[in-house]
Amino acid sequence: MIRILSPRWLRRKLKRPSHLPTLATMEPTTRCNCRCLYCRALISKTDLDLLHGRDMSLEEFDIVLSKLPFIRRFEFVGLGEPFLHPHLFDMIARISRRGKRTCVSTNGTILDEDACANLIGSGLDFLRVSIDSTDPDTFAKLRVGAELERVKAGVRRLVNAKKTIKSQTPALILSVVASRENQRELKEIIRLAHTLEIPVVRIRNLYAPLPEMQAKRIPDLENLQLVEELTDFAKTLQIELHTFVEECLRDLRGIYVTVDGYVTPCIFAYYPEKIEFGNLLKEGFNSIWNSPEYKEFRRTFPEKTPRFCKLCKGLSTEEVTTSVKTTSTSSVRV
């Protein structure tokens, strides 16, 4: 039987994805058991205390989720460690039951047997584990509070748990923040992924939303020189490599939802800039998305690149300073 689609239905289906975001990054908690080098620089500019941070309640999460039916992929990441949230697996399962894709980014310190079983049972699609060095001392310096051997043991535990029940999910991704601190270790990190049976490595350059972080960032020219070398090396180990991934606002396809329900374009727009366009715990998504402030932000981006974007992209502090007058006149809510 041939189904005839009405022009009206087709227009509605084709139009919907074009004007609404498809990715939502959720911050389930601001509590963390590590004090990573780059996060500490960011936290120093806020009034947050990660030891006594806040969790988004399950009731609040349900409210937020009910207002985002058009989102196709949810990622759990933020200033805190998602695994510290007491209801993380419930959150993942509720999204999975709706047929949406899910991803969690973790420091890998809490991959015990229960966590591995719950991850698999929740229906999680992807798990990103952060490993920025193969040297225990450098790793401890970059991710204060974490131990390399503990993270590696947790990954092995999850890999074995998946094999035991023949589960393909969650798919594992080794996530690397490339910087001056570990630039010479990137090949060894790829080799470690192969050893740990992680099929995908994702390397991104250091986001540097603060001027004092600029010196740690690898210049773009060196990125280009590194990409070919790392790609060839990864191929010899049959590793899928995503080099210097740029996850920015260039296509405005995503939103960031803070632990308190605020909608912002990016984590660095909120921390420490406090740029937000509304709160999903208090209003509907359409009123936020279609607010004059948010529409103006999207309309003028990237011509009026915000200050935090310029720093993340590695522009000099002088270049950023000269653009502050332009971005400060933007009508975003601060």
pLDDT higher than 50, residue 278: yes
What pLDDT shows up at residue 225? 85
Least confident window among 123-132, 164-173, 270-279: 270-279
Provide mean pLDDT across the span 218-227: 83
Token pair of 177 as six digits: 């923040």
Residue 252 φ/ψ, nearest 5 degrees? 50, 35
For the chain, give the percent of residues with pLDDT over 70: 80
- Looking at per-residue confidence, does 204 or 121 come out higher? 121
Q: Residue 317 has what pLDDT?
A: 43
Alpha carbon distance 83, 81 (integer Å) = 6
| Among the listed residues 164, 178, 249, the one whose alpha carbon sits nearest the alpha carbon of residue 219 | 178
CB-based burial label for 35 (10 Å; 0-12, 13-18, 19+): middle
Confidence of residue 332 (pLDDT cuts 50, 70, 90): very low
Omega of the bond leading into 86 within 30 degrees of 0 (cis):
no
Asked if pLDDT for residue 147 goes beyond 80, the answer is yes
Q: Are 128 and 81 in contact (CB under 8 A)?
A: no
| Distance in Å from the first CA to the final CA of the chain | 55
Name the pLDDT band for 271 (thresholds 50, 70, 90).
confident
Provide the greatest CA pair distance for the chain. 65
Facing residues of 172 across strands?
127
Does pLDDT of 151 surpass 50? yes
Which pLDDT belongs to residue 84?
96
Distance from C-alpha of 313 to C-alpha of 228, rounded to nearest angstrom: 21
Long-range contacts of 162-166 (CB under 8 A, 24+ apart): 162/120, 165/120
Q: What is each CA distance from 333 to 42, 130, 154, 248, 275, in whole angstroms?
A: 20, 32, 41, 20, 6
Determine the pLDDT at residue 166. Answer: 97
Whether residue 213 contacts residue 41, with contact meaning beta carbons closer than 8 Å, is answered with yes
DSSP label at 83?
G
**Can you say how many angstroms the Cα of residue 228 is from the centroid of all Cα atoms in its chain?**
25
Report pLDDT for 97: 97
Phi, psi of 243 (to 5 degrees): -95, 135
Per-residue pLDDT for 255 more than 90?
A: yes
Decide if pLDDT at 153 tops 60. yes
Task: Give the mean pLDDT of 298-305.
Answer: 80
Run of H or E including 255: strand 254-257
Q: What is the model's pTM?
A: 0.86
Confidence of residue 41 (pLDDT cuts 50, 70, 90): low
Out of 143-147, 299-303, 312-316, 319-323, least confident range: 319-323
| CA–CA dist 278, 258 (Å, integer) | 11
Q: Rounded CA gap, 124 and 233, in Å?
A: 30
Q: What is the pLDDT of residue 253?
A: 77
Q: Is the pLDDT at 145 greater than 50, yes or no?
A: yes
Residue 48 — pLDDT band, cuts 50, 70, 90? low
pLDDT at position 2 over 50? no
Q: What is the mean pLDDT of the chain?
A: 85
Helix axes 58-66, 88-96, angle to 10 degrees: 20
Output the DSSP codes for 100-136. -EEEEEE-STT--HHHHHHHHHHT--EEEEE---SSH
**Which tokens is 50 given?**
């990660």
Q: Is the pLDDT confidence value at 320 over 60?
A: no
